[in-house]
Amino acid sequence: MNLIKTLTMIPFLFFSLNVSSQNPDFVKMVEYATKAPSGHNTQPWIFKLTDSTIEIHPDFSKALPVVDGHHRELYISLGCALENLCIAANEFGYDAKTSIEVDDNSHSYIIAKLEKSRLQKNYLFDQIVKRQTNRSVYNNKLISSDTIKELERISMEEHIDFQFFDKNTHNFNVLMNLVAEGNTQQLNDKAFKKELLEWIRFNKKQVEATKDGLTYEVMGTPATPGFIGKPIVKSFLKPDKQNKTDMQKINSSSHLVLFTVEHNNPENWINLGRVLERILLETTRLGIANAYLNQPCEVESVAESVQNQLQLGNKKPALLLRIGYANPLPYSPRKEVYEVIE
Ligand SMILES: Cc1cc2nc3c(=O)[nH]c(=O)nc-3n(C[C@H](O)[C@H](O)[C@H](O)COP(=O)(O)O)c2cc1C
């Protein structure tokens, strides 16, 4: 074995030694948790395992200070990971009792207490590995009102709400205009573009080295050396170009889905993540594609316009999806489980 191969094996060997003392079911649950979506695919989580608990902590080294200054999307991502973890726990014969705690640095984190039980398995388990964000142009097919009603029956969490908007309705068009307004503000902001470019992986070598970020494949662009790809992508990060493609993508979709919270705090964001993941898994089961258009929730002044123009009262816009029908795309990479267990 050559030296490089031996060196790349070291983290795995450490993990094998470390993991042999861990409950293998818990390790598998963490692996399913990491299949969750996260903003820019930063995978901002650290898992800590004991004999009877799995903790999910925020990894602020993966924070996105420009686009997500308050860590709302970071905590939503942790909520998605928690939902996957609880579904996987049921699959492996455990009941998960969850709570949100605050550490010595005043940062919120999650504890899932696991007990062997004979709970029914969750029908969404098989969808965890199938779910993906699909940024392509969809095929214009509309989702039936019966299917939307089925999605509306998903189990909810306190202080979280979501609403579907049918294509060509007044509020659908309001949201579309506010996506354009969000794009315009973000793409006139150098710091926003710099942060986004740092998370784009332009070729296979970069993907394999980091196992995170937005890959050329999921962005639908060809692989290029970074020094070529970066200026090309940068030249497309202009409000008019982005608005043109986003309007085409929205018009090819069937519905927009707006998620709101009553309070902007980590507990509400984590619970929103849980509900979001349920919707994403359920849409995956129904063969429905999804992608995010978070611009109007990310830019504070635009989020206020969403709240006022849609008359949301005290509900604060936190996340916007488009859904519809499309062919599947390549999957995003994930870190190995040993890289996210402390
Ligand atoms: C809270 C949150 C916010 C996101 N915001 C965006 C977004 O604004 N635009 C986008 O294209 N994708 C967005 N995503 C999707 C992620 O980029 C995606 O989950 C990640 O790249 C991993 O890919 P996957 O979902 O296919 O596994 C978001 C995901 C989450 C959980």
User: Which domains, and CATH codes, for the chain?
Assistant: 3-131+334-339 (3.40.109.30), 145-324 (3.40.109.10)
Work out the average pLDDT over 306-329: 98
Predicted pLDDT at 5: 58
Model confidence at 118, in pLDDT bands (50, 70, 90)?
A: confident
Cβ–ligand 1 distance for 292 under 6 Å, the answer yes
Q: Is 8 a residue whose pLDDT tops 80?
A: no
Model confidence at 15, in pLDDT bands (50, 70, 90)?
A: low
Cα–Cα distances (Å) from 8 to 275, 340, 342, in that order, read: 38, 17, 19
Cβ–ligand 1 distance for 57 under 6 Å, the answer no
**Cα–chain center distance at 35:** 9
Strand partners for 116: 94
Query: Cα(13) to centroid of ligand 1, in Å?
Result: 32
Predicted pLDDT at 120: 86
Q: Is 291 a residue whose pLDDT tops 90?
A: yes
Residues 275, 16: Cα–Cα separation, whole Å: 34
Alpha-carbon torsion angle 332, 279, 176, 38, nearest 10:
-30
Cβ–ligand 1 distance for 184 under 6 Å, the answer no
Work out the average pLDDT over 55-72: 98
What are 24-38's pLDDT values in tens digits?
A: 999 999 999 999 999
Q: Could you tell me the two tokens for 291?
A: 């992608």
Q: Closest residue (by CA) to atom 2 of ligand 1?
A: 39
Work out the average pLDDT over 110-128: 95
Q: Closest residue (by CA) to atom 12 of ligand 1?
A: 292
Cβ–ligand 1 distance for 80 under 6 Å, the answer yes
Buried b (16+ CB within 10 A) or exposed e, 69-94: eebbbbbbbbbbbbbbbbbbbbbbeb
pTM of the model: 0.95
Query: Cα(16) to centroid of ligand 1, in Å?
Result: 31
Query: Cα(117) to centroid of ligand 1, in Å?
Result: 33
